[in-house]
């Protein structure tokens, strides 16, 4: 038995995986030290506020939105227990998540809440809302196109069977 195989059996992954995990921990520790170097109390309050905002406001909002999307797309008829949601729900979840993530990262510029941006960069800050809306629309259009292509591909056997039945009926007449 080689050393790598024994390591993989004991650790559960390759040595490269362990090296990458340790490097990511080192990078996170460095970022944490740099972040807490200035205003430790302010950073701690920001983290607590973000956690409370997420848990008390955003998480219930996510859950209600997801339930609404599941009801919109319906559920499969299943046997025992609740049937899993249709895959179409994910074609709403993914673009909504990416759009929300983009808004989270760029919200000051999207909502035009930065006065110093134009002075610091020389670029106008009024384009971000339109660009974010266009990206969001493009994400939903791409997701809808993928959903339609999947549905078309899934219906292929049914279409071929119906075509075969029509040909068989035509041959018997």
Q: For the chain, give me the number of helices (H) and strands (E)?
A: 8, 0
Same domain, yes or no, for 129 and 155? yes
- Say how far apart CA 96 and CA 139 lie, in whole Å: 8
- Domain count across the chain: 3
Long-range contacts of 23-26 (CB under 8 A, 24+ apart): none
pTM of the model as a whole: 0.58
In a domain, 2, yes or no: no
Domain hosting residue 13, numbered range: 8-37
In a domain, 1, yes or no: no
Same domain, yes or no, for 91 and 16? no
In a domain, 80, yes or no: no
Residue 173 pLDDT? 61
Same domain, yes or no, for 33 and 45? no
Same domain, yes or no, for 106 and 172? yes
Same domain, yes or no, for 103 and 25? no
Residues 71-94 have pLDDT tens digits of: 877 655 554 556 665 667 888 889
In a domain, 133, yes or no: yes
Report the percent of the chain where pLDDT is more than 90.
Answer: 29
Residues 20-73 have pLDDT tens digits of: 999 999 999 998 888 888 788 888 888 899 899 989 998 998 889 888 878 877
In a domain, 81, yes or no: no
Q: For residues 20 and 157, which has the higher predicted lDDT (pLDDT)?
A: 20
Tokens of 25: 């921990």
b/e burial code for range 115-134 (CB count within 10 A of at least 16 → b): eebeeeeeeebeebeeebee
Is the pLDDT assigned to residue 102 strictly greater than 70? yes
């Amino acid at each position: 038995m080689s050393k790598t195989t024994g390591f993989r059996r004991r650790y559960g992954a390759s040595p490269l995986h362990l090296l990458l995990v340790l490097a990511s921990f080192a990078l996170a520790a460095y970022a944490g030290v740099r972040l807490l170097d200035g205003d430790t109390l302010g950073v701690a309050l920001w983290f607590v506020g973000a956690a409370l905002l997420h848990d008390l406001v955003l998480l219930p909002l996510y859950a209600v939105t997801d339930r609404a999307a599941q009801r919109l797309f319906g559920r499969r008829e299943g046997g025992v227990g609740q049937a899993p949601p249709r895959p179409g729900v994910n074609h709403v979840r993914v673009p909504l998540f990416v759009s929300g993530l983009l808004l989270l990262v760029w919200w000051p510029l999207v909502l035009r809440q930065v006065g110093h941006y134009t002075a610091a960069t020389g670029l106008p800050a009024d384009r971000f809302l339109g660009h974010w809306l266009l990206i969001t629309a493009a994400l939903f259009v791409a997701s809808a196109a993928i959903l339609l292509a999947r549905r078309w591909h899934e219906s292929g056997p049914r279409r071929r069977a119906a075509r075969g039945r029509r040909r068989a009926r035509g041959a018997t007449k």
